[in-house]
Amino acid sequence: MCPRNSSHALVFLLTGIPGMARFHRWVFIPCCLMYLIAMLGNGTILLIVSVNRRLHQPMYYFIAMLATTGLGLTLSTLPTVLPVFWFGTGEISFPVCLTQMFSIHAFSFVESSVLLAMAFDRYMAICYPLRYSSILTSARIAKIGLGMVCRSLTLLPLICLLTRLPFCRSHKLSHSYCLHQDIIRLACTDYTLNSLYGLTLVLFVTLDAVLITLSYTMIIKAVLGITSRAQQTKALNTCVSHFCAVVIFYVPLVGLSIIHRYGKNAAPFSNVLVANVYLFVPPALNSIVYSMKNKPIRKAFLRLLC
């Protein structure tokens, strides 16, 4: 539906880590390892939750959603990252680049929404345990999941806005995958509207972080009101995995946003390094965290191995 222009015939050039071209094949090894961990770990969690009826509960539904976003992010970047680091081939057409850009940002947007929903889940389980099962029903969780998908579709106008931009500068991108903030800087016209729309979407993610912080503030307040020390520890232990997932997701995201906005004089590889950590590390670490810290998933995983 977006108007076509000459940019549809463009070919962008993806790059690896600036100044480290001779080490790209060595970088390929940890990238493969993280991709393997992310796909096996998240795929195993999805399998465990789907086949184990005891895990058909709100918390594990959200864990399955988080694993799905991890798989989505992994599969979005894999087709371009591995060829860039191993073969040095980084050419990508404009439509394919837009598709990858949308997939990466959409799955990141959904992951932020899932983390917010998980914070609400922990808040209800600790602060209102008697009303937990009546509020977080399977139907409501399905509606929450549908709302996450609809929320990610707000990224579609970015596609239309990018197709209107003429690209007459260098077509060399800074990463081994396509990101919105990386594409618009190559435009040879004013892209203020693109930047403002992108900033609006970033503010939505920031709002998620604020609401998660508010949820944990109320959770800690409720836990401190429990007289039994053992019950306090038990309640907090149910939040450890989710808290780790929040830190793993938002710390690299904040670092990437700061570097893009204010790090113009920073070393070129710092931007690429933080972006790679943001996209590659959370899908791999989340599966490890939930496999180790969540007792039912850990037991089911060990049974699966045996």
Task: Kindly report, residue by residue over 181-230, the tens digit of the pLDDT.
Answer: 888 888 888 788 888 888 888 888 889 999 999 999 999 888 888 777 88
Asked whether residue 174 carries a pLDDT value surpassing 60, the answer given is yes
The answer to whether position 202 is within a domain reads yes
**pLDDT value of position 169:** 66
The answer to whether position 117 is within a domain reads yes
The answer to whether position 291 is within a domain reads yes
Q: Which of 87-101, 105-119, 148-162 has the highest mean pLDDT?
A: 105-119
**pLDDT value of position 198:** 82
The answer to whether position 190 is within a domain reads yes
Confidence class for position 1, pLDDT limits 50, 70, 90: very low
The answer to whether position 1 is within a domain reads no
pTM of the model: 0.90
The answer to whether position 128 is within a domain reads yes
Q: Is 73:108 a contact under the CB 8 Å cutoff?
A: yes
Q: Is 297:55 a contact under the CB 8 Å cutoff?
A: yes
What's the CATH code of the domain at 29?
1.20.1070.10
The answer to whether position 38 is within a domain reads yes
Q: What does the alpha-carbon distance between residue 34 and residue 37 come to, in Å, rounded to a whole number? A: 5
**pLDDT value of position 6:** 47
Asked whether residue 3 carries a pLDDT value surpassing 70, the answer given is no
The answer to whether position 274 is within a domain reads yes
The tokens for 264 are: 């113009």
72-78: average pLDDT? 90
The alpha carbon of residue 100 and the mean position of all alpha carbons in its chain are separated, in whole angstroms, by: 14
Asked whether residue 65 carries a pLDDT value surpassing 50, the answer given is yes
**Containing domain of residue 111, as a range?**
6-305
Could you give the number of structural domains in the chain?
A: 1
The better pLDDT of the pair 171, 259 is held by 171
Contacts of the segment 199-208: beta carbons below 8 A, 24+ positions apart: 201/105, 201/109, 201/154, 201/155, 201/158, 202/257, 204/109, 204/112, 204/151, 204/154, 205/108, 205/109, 205/112, 205/253, 208/112, 208/113, 208/115, 208/116
